[in-house]
Structure 1
């Protein structure tokens, strides 16, 4: 067994994400047998001594049948209405199913705003930690009833990766209707499953698919992106089929395992790198990229070639190289309106009130490419 799988199997705190297609029928209603099988696997992991957080899709899909809708709605208002009905259906199903194992559940609804804003981020963290301390199984979902196009996570895979870091999880398990990550489209019959991902080079060539069904929003591309996010942040990840949940949450000998980065980012640096919503972009010359990424130095005005976006001092911005690739994120010390007259100039040539770092090294996180 690989070290990654051993860590996942032994993890004391596990975040598990399950997709809509793994919980519902083709018509959109909840499948009680599937949901109970998932809960049985989660309860077994609890009995084995682990804390479990469930990130569950399925609210919108669960509302389709009660509302007489034949397929997932495309307009936001109907999605919100379906989620409003479906969240109660899904929540009741989880309460009833976990009760078979004498376990209590608590619903936690999040929008991306709850993760983007530092104060909300800490509040969500405290709530989840307290639920776990009380022996409750938190069931997390995106708050589709109030989410708008601008603040949606887009899929619960990314939400699960953010929650995994938020609660200090020792492992993240992503369950879907596919039994792992493949080097091609498994529906075409010539793809090979990748069992272990030790580093980025193992998946650099992968062209993951997007969702093709009506019930879900997250395809394998989103799972790969989320696995990269969590593993980079120091959390080992397993992608497996929901039908194999008992094995995934037991010996972890199924699916695709992602090794974790040996160094876990601090909460603030993780927030900067992955959770915060960037308000603009600073384009850097080659010398500035080398200083910021290679030597972890502060960004000075002299190394900036262009700025885009409408940001204020204290906002998070992306730092991009000459090709436009994002190489870092950080907290900017100037408003967007101030920078055009400063960029490209040496610090000593600036007015005294502007002789400071544009992004200080303590507020800057290089991104792994």
Structure 2
């Protein structure tokens, strides 16, 4: 059975007036049920809580953006999951709610707990419906948007495919408003298409096409196929499954060499790092070389932060660029005392390192 993660963006689930588009939701549910009946396990990552809650309550006093998001998300999440429950129940399909936040992926233990939770749901025929818990997430610890969350979920659940449904047909080779611009049908996981990407954000979401592209490339590099398509196109999920060649979308072709489970977690952990490790040019050159090597303390020039053994650290070159993310084999204090020394175990073993 193929495992697929479907991410539905705010712009797909909202009408022009900002209210929830229940007809669109219903159409997406119909397609997910079709996928289930045709050999797919589905995890749904759904935005739309804010849109669901925005019109539920007239607020008497002006709220700041964080308080507004918390209030409307709390109201809207109940309504959103209730609608999904009713729509899936018509087909006799069970759904379960998974609310998460960035911090919940920061340790390997919490990461594995979430994976176990969703795995047992799938094993019992329950569709996990995942969303960020906006009621407790504060701005600096939030996901860029649900694209980032869906990439992490696809990676964590060893999905075969991640489908990101947006309000555009895919990645364009220029501005979509200009004549002659077309959707790029296929992108290799190691291609650079940054010159084509527009930096504008979508109306109701937090992220834009740059975020989608960065997430898609990272997930594809881990061996998972990524499709970016228009969620407002009729039967888009069914069309992608049955005749992708004639369905407009952008496919990010996956790396034929899949990444290990631990490295998948580390690949998405840069923003969870507890410290920085600065390395010299020789060490940076070795890490970037064709041979797989570990980071030795002899190549370390400085250490920042207060991390423990097993924490995630960012590895920085002499120009200040992050070259890798890894799991430290030392505490910061212990590593500090051994900077520049030969003959010790690696600070970061290559099995626990992801090159940026």
Q: Which runs of at least 4 in structure 1 moved beyond 4 Å after TM superposition?
A: 337-342
SS at match of 2:268: helix
Cα distance in 2 for residues equivalent to 1:78 and 1:35 = 24
**Under a length normalisation based on structure 2, what TM-score does the superposition of the two structures give?**
0.90
Checking the alignment, whether the CA contact within 8 Å between 1:182 and 1:191 is kept in structure 2 is yes
1:105 to 95, 106, 114: 95
Paired position in structure 2 for 1:228:
217
CA distance 1:250–1:109, shift in 2 (3 Å): farther
Q: Please tell me whether the aligned partners of residues 272 and 329 of structure 1 are also in contact (alpha carbons under 8 angstroms).
A: yes
Alignment of 1:139 with 2:134, yes or no, is no
Per-residue displacement from partner, 1:55-100 (whole Å, max 9, x unpaired)?
000111211011237xxx7621221111110001111111121123
**Corresponding position: 1:319 with 2:315:** yes
CA distance in 2, matches of 1:330, 1:13: 28
**Which of 6, 12, 17 lines up with 2:7 in the alignment?**
17
RMSD: 2.3
Spell out the pairing of 1:144-159 with structure 2 (5 A cutoff). 144-159=134-149
Deviation of the 1:249 alpha carbon: 4.3
Counting only pairs closer than 5 Å after superposition, residues 271-282 of structure 1 correspond to structure 2 as 271-275=265-269, 277-282=272-277
Distance between the aligned counterparts of 1:221 and 1:232, measured in 2?
17
Q: CA deviation at 1:171?
A: 0.5
CA contact (8 A) 1:241 1:255 kept: yes
Q: Would the aligned equivalents of 1:41 and 1:249 in 2 still touch at CA under 8 Å?
A: no
Out of 170, 175, 179, the position equivalent to 2:160 is 170
Change (3 A) 1:225 1:68: farther
Retained in 1: the 8 A contact 2:46–2:130? yes
Q: Is 1:62 the equivalent of 2:57?
A: no
Question: Any gaps of 5 or more consecutive residues in structure 1?
Answer: 1-10, 349-354
Q: Is the 8 A contact 2:2 2:160 kept in 1?
A: yes
Quick one: distance in 2 between partners of 1:37 and 1:50? 17
Which residue matches 2:104? 114
Aligned position for 1:301: 297
Is residue 266 of structure 1 aligned with residue 260 of structure 2? yes
> In the TM superposition, what is the alpha-carbon distance from 1:192 to its structure 2 partner?
2.8
Q: In structure 2, what is the Cα distance between the partners aligned to 1:314 and 1:135? A: 35
1:100-122 alpha-carbon deviations (Å, 9 max, x no partner): 32212111111112222211111
Aligned-pair distance for 1:241?
0.1
User: Structure 2 stretches of 5 or more lacking a match?
Assistant: none
Q: TM-score, normalised by structure 1?
A: 0.87
Distance 2:18 2:84 in 1: 17
Select the residue among 198, 206, 210 that pairs with 2:196: 206
Shift of 1:317: 0.9
Partner Cα separation in structure 2 for residue 365 and residue 32 of structure 1: 41
